Structures are given as structure tokens and as C-alpha cells.
Structure 1
Amino acid sequence: MSRPASLPGQSQYQIPGMEVYRRLLSHSLQYWPYLLVALVAMLVTAATEVGFAALMRPLMDGSFVDRDPDAIRWIPLAIIGIFFIRGVAEFLSNYTMKWVGRQVVKELRGRMFRHLLQMPVPYFDRHAGGQIISRLTYNVEQVAAASTDSITILIRDTVTVLGLLGWMLYLNWKLTLAVLIVAPAVAFAVDRVTRRFRKISRRIQASMGDVTHVAGEVMDGNRVVKIFGGEDYEQSRFDEINERNRRLHMKMVATQASNLPIIQFFVAIALALIVWIATHESLLQEVSVGTFVSFITAMLLLLTPVRRLVNVNALLQKGIAAGQNIFGLLDEPLERDQGTLSLDRARGDIQLRDVSFSYDAAKGDVLRQINLDVAPGETVALVGRSGSGKTTLVNLLPRFYEPQQGQVLLDGVDIRQYRLADLRRQIAYVGQHVTLFNDTIANNIAYGSPVDPSDERRILAAAEAAQAMTFIRRLPEGLNTLVGDNGVLLSGGQRQRLAIARALLKDAPILILDEATSALDTEAERHIQKALDHLLKNRTTLVIAHRLSTVEKADRIVVMQDGAILETGTHRDLLAQDGLYAHLHRLQFSDNGLD
């Protein structure tokens, strides 16, 4: 088996780095009172750095050279005071910035989740779930670090560097020039490293999405993996992706680790120049012991903030790369909901006029010139071979997809003129692949319904009608039983009966049944059919079925092939026509046929 060359979900367009950082800062600036406290605390922290360097001058000259008793008394107290103030200021700046960071994480995750809830279905068709989850988890954490931790370092350490340089200029401008000689070389090194950091960071974001995607596939399909013996293949696939992720991280580490020694080497050159110049005979007369020690102390104190400022580049580039993914998602267009008409309860009159649809123009139309009228209260079954377009057709009704040509009308009005929420409130759906949430049975039945989950009477009635109470009564917690992740603690038939109960409780005028009884045994199916017969009364129903025995009583059967309607009629009429429907019927009901 070969591994796909790449996974979907990566945007080709990258938002410029400065635009990303501007948007990140806009999220942080909403909490400006906390940022103001942090800013003041950072300025105080920077001032204590300069204060400590300045303290070295009277310490050396007053205590060790002049033996001044006043200096000997107050300097120890000053040292304690400086570090006490520094500790309080560092705590305030770190705590307030972390608080802002977590607020930004919460806000971005909330915005992304709300955005995902309103994204069109085609977006999820094109993007891998693992990539989306990676953006919600890993990428947001990187963004938080860029929007808060980096601000702390940039402000506090920049002020510290400027303060120390100012003090050094005050002590001796000639010595300070020796430090500034290496500045262009440092700036060039930082610029080159910045480009590499951002490039590697983007690749790490994609790699983390691949890790999440593959792990999610294995967890979702663990039964398939086990039954088909795919453990070795999945392990090798994951190992390959995991190794690629490790290599990318090590490239980042190597870049970061080599960057600091280079900067420190330039600083060492500056330090050597200072020592050489300071010991020159012409300067020995100008510079006292205290001044020289204070200057060297200030320069050594420069190393730590300069190191952090150099390293913050990696943090910034990770955040910007992550921000490009996050804002790329947030900039994706939402479902078009330009309809203005409200709809309380539809009659259920459905019309399709010359409808054509394709998922990809290069692959051709999936539906071709479909014309179909479904009267209010009519039950229409859609049958045909796999890939004939049955499911695509019914997916147009709730506007999961928009047709490229033609119109879909509900009660004589183009469905695009209705508000989406009003349109979808008219439709109940039971699919072949049932989705249940990790919640109680009662909450799953009442999901999306105006009925409160605490209204046990109506939930019980829906469960009874769906023949679900036969197994619910045997459960220790009854309706309050947790069903597990996607109903994993229930059988396929039990999950489908809950889905039918959910549709019954919604009481919508239009019902879509997509292989709704496929997971039920013969006896349960017979009971469900009785419930459905009652449910279908006065409701417009579209039934998709491969088992033709389930649609024989439909008011009309529409036979589809290659995206077009081939035959239409009742079960008896279609058998008499001896066309495709009759052929499929013979296949299913002959001794050697397929069911």
C-alpha cells in the first residue's frame, strides 16, 4: 500500500506575516487594562536591571576604593530592595500576560468553532478533519505564545537593552561604540534566521495536522484496522509521519541553537574590543574601577535580554505560521444565508426544475437536468445503482450543496429565498450512517428539537414509536444511559432506532430516509415500518433505498442512473415496464441474487 503524497487542508494562499501579527495584537489589545499593568511591571523590571548595573559603580568606588562607611551601609539594602521590586514586577508582568494569553486562546477557539459550525458542507469534503482539529488545538497554543509571551520579551527586554545601552553611553561613549560596531552583523544574522524559522514553522504546522489526521483515522476505524490486519501498515504510516515531524522540530532546534552562539560570538568580539580600548593608556586616566566594573556589568547583563530577543524570533515565526492557518480558516466564507423569507411550517410541495450539479467540474455532472415534482404528503422513493445521484439529490433540499443550474422549490418558492434555519427546520433526516453524541439517550433523541430533554413523556412516545424502548428498558439508566462516542456502546440497529426516534420527535413536514432501516433485523424492520407508516401520514417523504422491499408501498418510485431520472412509477407499474427497476428487483429477489 502506498501513502498519499499529501493530505488535504493546506491553503495555497498565505496571509502576510505582518498582517497576521497585527490581527493577533488586535485580539490581545481587547484586554488593554491587563496589558497596561503588565507594561508598567515590565518597565519596572527593566529599570531594576539598569539599577543593578548602576549600583556597581558606587559599590566598587565607595566600598572597595574609598571605603565610604555610608556606601557600605546603604548598598546592601539597595541590592535587597532592587531584587524585591524586581520579583514583584516580574510576577505581575508574567501573570497578567499569561492571563491575556489564555483569554486569546479561549476567544480564538470559540470563534473558530462558531465559524466551523457555519461552514458549508463542501469545506469539510475538501479538508481533512485532523488538520482542522490541529488548528483548534496545537496552532492556537502557538498563536497565544506569539501574542503574549513574545510581547513580554519584546517590550521588557527591548527597554532593558535600551536602558543598559543608555547607562553605558553615560559612563563612556567611546566604549559603547565598540558594542554598536557588531550591531549590523547581529541584525543580518537575525534576518536570515527569521526566514528559516518561518519556513520550518509552516512545515511543522502541516506535520502536526498529519499526525492528528492519521491518529484520528485509526481511532475511528479501529475495527477495520483490526479485522483486516492493518496494524503494521498503520504503524509504519504513523512512524513515517512522526519521524518527519521529529526531523522538522530538530531543524528548528538546530537553527535556534546555532543562532545563539553566533550572536554570543559577536558579543565576545565587542567585549574584547572594550577590554582592549579600556586598558589603553589614554583611557586609563578617565575610567575609574567602579565605572569600568559598572560598564562591564551592564554589558554582561545585556547578554540575557539579547539572547531572549534573538530566541523570541523563533516564537514569533511559529505563532505567525500558526496564525496563517487560523486566520485562513476564519477568512473562509460561511454558508450563504441571504434568504429573507421566514417559514413557520411548510406544506411540503417540492419541485426540482432542470437541476444539474457537479462536485468538481473536471469530473462531470453528478446530476443532469433533473425535473421532479413531489406533492405534499407524497412518499417518493429514489432507487438505483450506487453512484446514480440519489443522495446528492436529497442533499440539495437542505442546501448542503447548491446546484450549478436549475432551481429547487419548496411550496413554490426557491429555497435560496428562505432563511437557512427556517428551511432546515422543515426537514427531519435519518441516514444510513447514524450520528449520535456522547450524551444520554434522552438528549440524543431530543437533539435539535424544540422539545426539552426533561419532557420525558414526549421522548418516551417517540422512542416507543421507533421501537427503541424494547432495548432502552433493559439498560440500567434507561433514557439517562450514556451512549458513548458516536453511540459506540449501542448496536447498529439500536443507533438507527434512536435516529428514527429523533426524527419522530422533531415532527417536521418533510422527512428524508436514507437507508433508514438498513441496520435492522427483519423483525425490527417490520415494527419500524409500522411506525414509519404512521409517521409518513401528512408528510412529504423522500426515501433512498437499495433494498427494494422497503419501498414497494411508496406512492411513487423514481429510478435514477448516471445522475438522471430513468423511470418513474409505482412498484407495480415499474415491474410491468420491465426496465432497470424490474431488473434490480429480479436480482434482489432471485435465489442467486444479491440483497
Structure 2
Amino acid sequence: MTDVGTSVDVVAPSPVESDIDKDKLPDVSSWKLMKNLSWRIWLVVFIGIMSSILNGLVFPSFAVVFGEVLGVFSLPASQVLDEIHPWGATFLALGIVLAVSTFVKNLCFSISGENLTRVVRSKLFKAILRQEVGWFDDESNSTAALSTKLSSNAGDVSGAAGVRLGTVIEMSVTLLASMAVAFGYSWITAFVVVGLIPILAVGSVLYFSLAAGRKKSSNKGLKEASEIALESVKNIRVVAAFGLEESFYQTFEKEVLGTYKLSVCLSVLFGVAYALTQSLVFFAYIVTFRFGAYIVMLPTDDILYTGYENVFRVFSAIVFGSIAIGATGSFAPDYTKAKESAKIVYAILDRNPEIDNYSQDGLKLEDVKGDLQFENVFFAYPQRLQVNVLSSFSLKVKQGQTLALVGASGGGKSTVMQLIERFYDPHAGCASLDGTNILDINLSWLRSQIGIVSQEPVLFDGTVAENIRYGALFREVSDEEVIAAAKSANIHSFIETLPMGYNTSVGGESNQLSGGQKQRVAIARALLRDPKILLLDEATSALDSESERVVQEALDKAREGRTCIVIAHRLSTIYNSDCIAVLKRGKVAELGTHRELMEKRGLYYRLNGAKATSQPEQETNNTESGISILQI
């Protein structure tokens, strides 16, 4: 049936939002990152925190012991050796504690950081696979961008639970303990120190801000450069054939050079900020020593008076406290990088796809016949919502029928197949299987009932047997079933001639097989799941005459007993179809058998060519002579 109605305006869903602007993304708390860790890793983190705290107490303890040692040196010479030995043993103990706690801290936080990276990276990849096909149409979700998120952004989140986090905890404890030592031994000097802390923090804050800006500014240029490199290497044969090496190199160099110039400018400011952070500490030393000299010279009964040992204790506290401020400030960009990367990662992890590939909801029909029907369907692609690819599209295919879709490019032929697979959902109207709206059917189950063979089949880097088994990974597949599928696809004899038979690798991008061989492996993969519906998207259009003949024999055999939808340009693949639908501007313009449509002398007749006749035998001869059914 066909019901070509009047076009109406349809409110389409909003386009997929880009997640490339991190400023527009919600913040991600440290707890949200850390809760990805298992309880065993949490135990490791706890041990690491305790070690960091112990580490942080070592240097303030050293300040106290250092003051005591100075006091020993003020004793008469005869007492110095006797008094110094216990403090020497104390220094030894502090050294041992520092060595052990540092080792444990680094070990624990290395384990937790790597574990967090592994978990987040795995979850991110799973979340990417979960997204609907329309999400990948957005340029911000290109192959290069997603590869960067998996490799760099997922790796950067370790800053929230790695060694740097342990160091920040350690330095924070050192700062607090140092201030406690300073207040405990000379409160007036400690007040002076506290007054200097904001000055010491200025450089760290500036350093931190520039580091974050430096990372953000370089991301865009590096992303563009990565995409150029990925595209050129992936298509190296075309690049070499047309001598495009220098052109791609110049384009890549232009992107990298822009990022380089920007980074150089920011590096100057970055260096100034870091130098300021380090130099401000010495100004604090000046103030401390000058003020210390003043209070040491006061009368002993003065409330501000303190001994020189205490001044050096406070001085040591300032030294270690300032080191803590500098170290914490230097690690802040790493933590910020982790937070910024976490925003990007969780923008995907928290996203609920419009079509959830992992959803367990929906019906599973008990007895699938294979009746397909489209009723008044409207559809536009997410990145081109203003253009309706299908408008008031209605069509029905009965069980066991073969339907051929023909028409000019952009007419909506491939879109029909993608709606059947639920790569996209209609914006209006209904697509149904056996009378049930496919939106109400379990997605994984629906796709398990469909086999698809495209014009350019994709084989993965693995063996021939593995590529065939990919067709039915939702169940156990025996070797006998793989061989049976290969025989049905007319490829078994060829596979047996390979060096390792079914265990022969097809190579990267299946470059070890010809076009016809890849096509037949793809057919075997589709047949292995024993689909009720078979979709053939121009499966022979890119093949030579001999390969087309062999593949067409396999396709004819595969169509037996199944509902089949075929997109083809060559008459030999569609003239004997049960029904042919001619699509024009997203609607069914003509519908009927080959003979009926030729007798109408309408659009199908004109597409077929002026010399075409309604006799299948003559049409076959024309095709063999190289005359195509569709002059597109």
C-alpha cells in the first residue's frame, strides 16, 4: 500500500548538543569521581591518606627537633656530645618514617589512580557505545574527538585519586602542622607569618589560573591536528596515490604552529607566575628574621620575648609551610585538569541517549513473521532538521516479500533502512513490525531479527571466523554454524584455500580480501543470525561483473523465505522483486512490479532509460552490456 499525503510541519527534536565547551558543563565533584572505586581500592586510598598525613607531620617535627639541636649547641662543650646523641637518633627515626610512609603513599595512590583511570575509561567506552547513531553525527563527537576523550581525558582523571592527590594531602598537613608549631613556640611571630600567607598565595593563584587557561587554549588546535593526522593515516593509500603527503603535512603544520605560538605566549606568563611563587618565600624570610632579631633582643620578662631557638623553630615552620604552599599550588593545575577532564567524561557518562542500545525495556515478539509497515512517517536528520528526508511516507512489505527501493540520491532510500534498524526514530508517524510499533519493541531483540549487507561492508581486524561470528554474538555459535553460513554466502570454497582457513586474518580494514570476498563474508555474517528481515543496501554496486554474479547468487539464496528490502541501481538485482517502490522527495511516487511500472511509463520508466523495455530478458541483456537501471 502507499498513502502519499499532504506535507505538514513537524516539530523535530532539538539537535544533539555539543559538549566541546567545558565552561557550559556542570561541575564534577571529587566524590563523584572517587565513588567509581571499589571498597578494596578505598581501603588502599585510606592507607595512602594515613601515610600522607604521617608524611606531612615529619617536617614540622623536624622544625621542633632542629630548635632543640640549636639549643644543645649553646651548652658548654663538655655537654654537647652527650646531649646530641638522642637527637641524632630522633633524626634517624624521622628519616626512616619518611622513607616508609613516602613509599606506602606513592604505592597506594598509584594503585588508586590507575584503577580510577581504568574504571572511568571502561565506563566511558561503554557509554559511547550506548549512544544513538544521531549523536555521532555531531562533529564534536568525531572519531578523533572521542579517541582523545578515551585516551587523554579519561587518563587525566587519575589526578583526583593519584600520587598528586597524596602529595596535596601531605602538603596540607605540613602547612597546618607548621602553623601549629609556629603558634606554639612564638605566637607573635606566628601572627606575622599568618599575615604573610596571603602574599605567598598570590603567586600560586596566578600560576594555577594560567595553567588552567593554557590547557584549555591548546585543546582546540590539538584536536584539529589530531583529526587531520587520523584522516590522512587512515586513508594513506589515497594520499599516496594522489601525492597529497605535502598538502596534509602543511595543513597539520598550520594547526600545530597556531597552538605552538599561543603556548609560547602563555608560557612566558606561566614562567613569571611560577617565579613569583618561588621568590615571595624569600621576602617572607626577610620579615621573619628581622622581626625575630627584634623579639630576641627584648628583656626576658617582656611578653613578646622568646629565645632564639624558638625563632628558628618558627623560621623552619615558615620554610616547610611555604614549601607546602608552593607544592600544593604546583599540583593544583593537575587536579584542575582532572576536574576539567571529568566534566567532559561525565557529560557522556551522564547522558541519557534518545535510543538506548543497552535498554532492556520493550516487547519481544514470540512469532516473528516479518511484516513491515510505515504509516505517514516524517523524518529529518539531527544535523539538518530543516530538511525533511521523509515526508508523509507510507509503505507496506508483507512476510517473505522482496521490496526494491529506487530513486534519485537523497530520496530517502537508505533512511528507510536506518529507521527499520532504529538508528533513528521518526519525528512523526509510525514504523511497525508485525503490527507492533518498533518503538515498543526491545531494541537489542529487534536488531537480532535483522541482517544487513551494505555497499561497503566493514570487517574488523580479526580472523574470517571471528568476523562471521560477529553476526550472532548474542548467542553461542558453533564452528558448524559458521561453515554453514559461509556456504550459504558462497564463500566457503574460497576460505578453504586461505593459508589458515577460517583462522586467517583479514588484516587491518580487511585489506587482505577483495571487494567481492568482503561482501560475501558480510553476507555470511548477516545470515548467521538467521534474520527474519534482510536489508541489502546496494550490496553489488561497487563490484565488477564476475564478482557481482557470484555475490548476487549468494544474495538470491539468502533472500529465500525472508522479508527483504533492497536498494540497488542495477536492474539485474531488482527486476524480479515482488514489489518496487520509486521514492521522490521522501515519498512513494510509484509502486508496483517491474512490468507494471514499465507499462506506466512514469518516473521508473524514465529512470530506467529510453531504451528500456518491459521484458525482463531484454533488461537483463542491457544490464550485462553495462546499461544501468538508474542514470543517477
Match of 1:199 in 2: 213
The alpha carbon displacement at 1:42 in A equals 0.8
Q: How many angstroms does 1:283 deviate by?
A: 3.7
Aligned 8 A contact 1:200 1:251 in 2 = no
The 2-side partners of 1:498 and 1:95 are apart by 49
Q: Tell me what 1:123 maps to.
A: 135
Q: What is the deviation of 1:190?
A: 4.1
Q: Distance in 1 between matches of 2:221 and 2:31?
A: 26
Q: Tell me if the contact between 1:9 and 1:128 (Cα under 8 Å) persists in the aligned partners.
A: no
Which whole-Å deviations, capped at 9, do the CAs of 1:77-133 have from their partners, x for residues lacking one? 222211111011011111111111111111111111111121100011112111111
The whole-number CA distance in structure 1 between the counterparts of 2:22 and 2:105 is 36
Q: Which residue of 2 aligns with 1:43?
A: 53
Q: 2:72 aligns with which of 41, 62, 84?
A: 62
Residue of structure 1 in register with 2:374 after alignment = 352
Shift of 1:51: 1.6
Which secondary structure state, in structure 1, belongs to the residue aligned with residue 162 of structure 2? helix
1:363-405 CA-partner distances (Å, limit 9, x unpaired)? 3200111110100000001111211110011110111101111
Letter in 2 for 1:560: L
Whether 2:391 is the aligned partner of 1:368: answer yes
Residue 414 of structure 1, CA deviation = 0.5
For residues 55-77 of structure 1, give each alpha carbon's deviation from its aligned partner in whole angstroms, at most 9, with x where no partner exists: 11221221454443332222222
Is it true that 1:323 corresponds to 2:342 in the alignment? yes
Q: By how many angstroms is 1:249 displaced?
A: 4.7
Q: Aligned AA for 1:277?
A: F
Q: Residue in 2 aligned with 1:305?
A: 324
Select 2:463's aligned residue among 440, 444, 454.
440
What is aligned with 1:88?
Answer: 100
Q: Higher mean Cα deviation, 245-254 or 453-462?
A: 245-254
Q: Distance in 1 between matches of 2:38 and 2:275?
A: 35
Contact 1:17–1:320 (8 Å) recurs in 2: no
Partner-residue secondary structure (3-state), 1:406: strand
The match for 1:291 is 310
Instruction: Pick from 109, 112, 124 the counterpart of residue 100 of structure 1.
Output: 112
Q: Deviations over 1:153-182 (max 9, x none)?
A: 321101001111211222222222222222
Determine which of 17, 29, 33 is the counterpart of 1:24.
Answer: 33
The match for 2:5 is: none
Q: Cα distance, 1:198 vs. partner?
A: 3.2
Mean Cα deviation higher: 42-51 or 486-495: 486-495
Aligned residues: 588
Query: Counterpart in 2 of 1:158?
Result: 172
State how far apart, in whole Å, the 2-side matches of 1:412 and 1:461 are. 32
Match of 1:177 among 160, 182, 191: 191
**2:365 equivalent in structure 1:** 343
The CA distance in 2 between the partners of 1:95 and 1:448, in whole Å, is 44
The whole-number CA distance in structure 2 between the counterparts of 1:128 and 1:527 is 36
Aligned in 2, Cα 1:513/1:574: closer, same or farther, shift over 3 Å?
same
Letter in 1 for 2:492: M
2:162 matched to which residue of 1?
Answer: 148
TM-score of the pair, normalised by structure 1: 0.92
Gaps of 5+ in 1: 1-7
Secondary structure in structure 2 of the residue aligned to 1:27: coil
Report the residue type matching 1:493 in the other structure. G
| C-alpha separation in 1, matches of 2:363 and 2:518 | 35
Question: Structure 1 235/101 Cα, relative in aligned 2: closer, same or farther at 3 Å?
Answer: same
SS in 1 for 2:583: strand
Indicate yes or no: 2:564 matched with 1:541: yes
Partner of 2:616: none
2:434 to 411, 436, 441: 411
Residue 446 of structure 1 aligns to a residue whose secondary structure is: helix
Aligned in 2, Cα 1:244/1:98: closer, same or farther, shift over 3 Å? farther
Which residue of structure 1 lines up, in the alignment, with residue 586 of structure 2?
563
d(CA) in 2 for partners of 1:70, 1:208: 65
Taking structure 1 as reference, are residues 264 and 532 closer, same or farther at Cα in structure 2, changes over 3 Å only? closer
* In 2: Cα distance, 1:305 partner to 1:29 partner: 30
Q: 2:582·2:588 contact (CA, 8 Å) conserved in 1?
A: yes
The separation in 1 between residues aligned to 2:160 and 2:219, in whole angstroms, is 14
Q: Is the 8 A contact 1:339 1:416 kept in 2?
A: no
Question: Which deviates the most, 65-74 or 456-465?
Answer: 65-74
8 Å contact 1:20–1:324 — kept in the other structure? Answer: no
Deviation at 1:528, TM superposition (A): 2.6
| Unmatched runs of 5 consecutive residues or more in structure 2 | 1-16, 613-621
Matched letter for residue 553 of structure 2: K
1:493/1:157 CA distance change after superposition, 3 Å: same
Shift of 1:16: 6.1
Q: Does 1:500 align with 2:523?
A: yes
Tell whether the 8 Å contact from 1:190 to 1:310 is kept in structure 2 after alignment. Answer: yes
In 1, the alpha carbon distance for the partners of 2:481 and 2:566 equals 25
Question: What is the CA deviation profile of residues 20-55 of structure 1, one whole-angstrom value per residue up to 9, with x for unaligned ones?
Answer: 444224335853211110111111111111121111
Structure 2 CA distance for aligned equivalents of residues 272 and 159 of structure 1: 25
Q: Distance in 1 between matches of 2:342 and 2:220?
A: 13
- Give the direction of change, closer, same or farther, for the CA distance of 1:159–1:282 in structure 2 (3 Å limit): closer
Given that 1:139 and 1:323 are in contact with CA atoms closer than 8 Å, whether structure 2 keeps it comes out as yes
Distance 2:278 2:129 in 1: 50
Q: Is the 8 A contact 1:453 1:459 kept in 2?
A: no
Alpha-carbon distance, 1:431 to partner: 0.7
Structure 1 pair 579–226 and aligned structure 2 pair: CA distance change class (3 A) = farther
CA distance in structure 2 between the partners assigned to 1:151 and 1:109 by the alignment: 19
Inter-partner Cα distance in structure 2 for 1:186 and 1:396 = 62
Larger deviation: 62-71 or 46-55? 62-71
Q: Secondary structure at the match of 2:472?
A: coil
Amino acid of the residue matched to residue 119 of structure 1?
A: Q
User: 1:12 and 1:264, CA in 2 relative to 1: closer, same or farther beyond 3 A?
Assistant: closer
1:179/1:267 contact within 8 Å kept: no
Tell me the C-alpha RMSD between the 2 structures.
2.6
